[in-house]
Amino acid sequence: MTKPTLAELAKNLDTGHVSSVELSSALLDKIDSLDGDIGAFLRVDRANIERYAKESDERRAAGKTLSTWDGIPIAIKDNIAVKNQHCSCASKILESFISPYNATVVERLKNAGMIPFGRVNMDEFAMGSSCENSGFNPTRNPRSLDRVPGGSSGGAAAAVAAEMAPAALGSDTGGSIRQPAAFCGVVGVKPTYGRISRFGLVAFASSLDQIGPLTNNVEDSAVLLDIISGHDPKDSTSLKNSATSCANALEDLPSDLKGIRIGIPKEYFEMEGLDADVGASIQDAIDAFKRLGAEMVDVSLPHARYAVAAYYVIATAEASANLARFDGVRYGLRAANPEDIMDVYLRSRGEGFGEEVKRRILLGTFVLSSGYHDAYYLRAQKARTLFRQDFDTAFERCDIMLSPTSPTVAFKLGDRTDDPLKMYLADVFTIAVNLTGGCALSLPTPTPGADGLPVGLQLMAPPMQDEALLRIAGTFEMATNA
């Protein structure tokens, strides 16, 4: 199957080689034929998709297209609000919830004429690294159906990898875009915190969450970032002057990377659990960067070993506060025949939340409780400051840093469901970027790992250096055909 870029799709739509109705119909047919085995989509609103596609074709025929990208479908992770559609976060507690408004990113897609294309599966409330924690069904990796697609944006990555959608929007709290992108062999970008509005994103950990694209190539990610970025007064964490010009940064890419300094954080390559095949594939990528003229610089992130521990204190503490709103009173699941208000709270949450969500709420509530706040939460926040200082110091010596995205290729379904700590360590290389607020992406390495499965190469840059990051990644992709 071919993988047309968004630019190619736009050209085909503009020349009349294909209509938006035909494109959407072909993708819907592909979902019908493939998704029974993969399970990437939770819901597909065919009637609205067909209506939006028809309206796009009518605008194009009248010469009134909303943008170059008018009529192109984009899959949406199930924790991003689309008006009048389900927004369940893959949780039983929100199974019947219909969003009354659009997320800002969805509003911006629609303003460009793009079509919200189905609700894709995820780990419940974005809590997971394998897409096995969905309250409805696990998603399988299109590259190997006995493997996980990664998480929590596993449905988005799988939909793009299986070519059931040309691109998707996911969310990244500790690696939830980059890790599934690595497992499925696609490109996933975690933008600088604050460049993309979080309004309409159901919160997991508010100081860490960020929406970003999953696509088949770097250029497509740049296109989507330009569409969805920019200041939003509805989001108090939205940065001023945060609009991007990423697509422009990918014009006239250089043939080499001379003058670019790439940091190799030694701690990331010394951690236990890095599979030999993944390490070899990353070394091949490093060699490719050298051939392109980039300078490799050894850097140190001395506190990196504490990132996972700090993350699972901060993220769970914020989750405990954010998920308190799901109490069976205002919206979502309510337990039948409650004895009193306390029974409503306890049974509704007990019946509605899955095991991993309960685990994280309990952990977060514990670290915020009297007598433990200073010992755990405050200390984790102090560690977060040290991570930021480590990254700032490293970036004084290099333009970007390089690491594996995940220590392994996609693991088999069920392999880690009984070992939460082992599951958490799948994000050991991605978590620190969320804690420091910088930007990062994952793209496939030129050489696969074990069993021919994709290996993700993570590139990290300082905050607000998204364009430079994508330009380097685009040059590498072009030179290696990764």
Active-site residue list: 77, 152, 176
For the CA atoms of 52, 57, 60, 65, the dihedral, rounded to the nearest 10 degrees, stands at 10
Compute the chain's Rg from CA coordinates.
21
**Alpha carbon distance 338, 344 (integer Å):** 6
Max Cα-Cα span within the chain: 70
CB 278 within 8 A of CB 409: yes
How many angstroms separate the CA atoms of 252 and 478, rounded?
A: 11
- Dihedral of CA atoms 268, 273, 278, 283 in degrees, nearest 10, equals 40
Alpha-carbon torsion angle 76, 355, 177, 207, nearest 10: 100
Distance, in Å, from the CA atom of 121 to the CA atom of 135, rounded to the nearest integer, reads 9
Dihedral sign computed on CA atoms, order 100, 104, 106, 108: positive
Residues 87 and 122: beta-carbon distance below 8 Å = no
As to burial, measured by CB atoms within 10 angstroms (0-12 exposed, 13-18 middle, 19+ buried), residue 308 is middle
* Alpha carbons 354 and 127: distance in angstroms, whole number: 10
Burial of 481 (C-beta count, 10 Å sphere; 0-12/13-18/19+) = exposed
461 has which bridge partners?
Answer: 439
